[in-house]
Structure 1
Amino acid sequence: MTASIGAPSSDILIIDDPAPHVRRLTLNRPEKRNALSNALRAEVFAALEAADVDPDVQVSILRGAGPCFSAGYDLAGGTAPPYPFHTAGGVGHWSRHVVEGCFRIWDLAKPVIAQVHGWCLAGGSELATACDLVYVAEDAQIGYPPVRMMSPPDNQFHAWLCGLRPAMEMMLTGDAIDGLEAVRVGFANRAFPAADLDAQVLAMAERVAKIPTEVQQMNKRSVHRAMELMGLRAAIRAGAEIQALALTTPSSRETFAAIRKNVTKGLSERDQAFGDYRTKS
């Protein structure tokens, strides 16, 4: 099937309608491993919100162009103002802003599917988990390396999705898990061979699109409200405050100072002792 254009695309976000009632957003900064700048985040939120009020759209897919889904937030100046939307300022503004963004996706009426391949790190993993369904390539690499020298996540979903022991291991090592392990621990719904991921995700989106939006939004809320009654929303908001506190530690300040001088060198120094990510031989 030839994809039709469903809404205006840009250099950094490609938008198409690959099947009836399916809107697809493709992060398009492959040369930056789809690093999440505020400009890109703004376009993602705008496109998802436009799809949410478009009567011809019943479900959205979010994926990445090139070799990966997203390697995280754009630390090379891409997180400076302007921000995609207003969040109350003051200490901890960034982490609260990230959490508010995740809940903006969470609270949409129509389902959003994350299609994950390659690296899905840090802010990229937070973006994926904000979606309603997550399908991954078997060889995808999902992790949160900033726990090694910077802070725990802005959006601390790990314990809720993965349970105590897997979440604790990820938090205490910063190691990545592959797609098969992501399904086993509950981060993702299903894993597919990388070559089959596009077709499998589109097939699932077409199944989801068979249900009318007025019913589907209630189906979404029934699951979300149950999680909220167990404390998910309050716990993630509390986690944002812990993340903000972590940024005041000497290790975090030193790491960010090194990154400001040279992003690649700073991140490599963070991961050198572990021999993974950028430093993997």
Structure 2
Amino acid sequence: MTSKYSATRLQGQVAIITAATKGIGLAIAERLGHEGASIVISSRDQKNVDETLNQLTKSGLKPEKVSGVICHVGNPEHRQKLVDFAIQKYGKIDILVNNAGINPGFGDILDVSESVWDKLFDVNVKAGFLLTKLVVPHMIKNGGGNVIFNASYGGYRPPTGIAAYGVTKTTLLGLTKALAESLATKNIRVNCIAPGVIKTKFSKALWDHGPEGEQTIVEETGNPMKRLGEPEECAGAVAFLVSNDASYITGETIVIAGGIHARL
């Protein structure tokens, strides 16, 4: 089957993408795979992993270049297992996409319990940081690599009702810059994407309110393009950032939000 993408910038590379069985993570896995990378996906559910691997091969990726494993990123043993699996399967790791994230609650930020606050930071911030620490030695051994964090435009404008989630994404903006500076001399680039409202199951509660639901959220966010984003539009940005086309870019965040004003 002919690849759906004409670019092949990632031939010979190996990429880990967390939470990659749906939405933005799946789109990133598919795009990086079609650009030539061998893909290791992860999910908390084996059934989702198996179904996604089948979906990726049906899209035209070779079965030997796509694999996956269960990984709850908040679990230290699972993180280590994910890294070990990638090394055993492909012998190296060139790209890490920290895509996993949660939003377990809705309400005013002062009503967020300590346990929910801790869970948000454990999964959305701490897990990606610790997974990066596990992967970096392998990248150094390869002579370099790329790390991507998936933040949110909510990191710039914490949304009402999910402000605590937004604060974790603000933290990722700073973490990206700190890690980029730390790893720059090791030829490891660290960048970030900050999607707006993308049409995924994760964001469905924001826009799935009948025929006018999408238009309402577009107006509320002040989106100049007057539409929601698609997962593939995030995947294209990631493919650019991890390729040599972005070889002099590190510590940066690309806002993928249709022109929404999102600045700290």
- Give the TM-score taking structure 1 as reference length: 0.30
- Give the TM-score taking structure 2 as reference length: 0.31
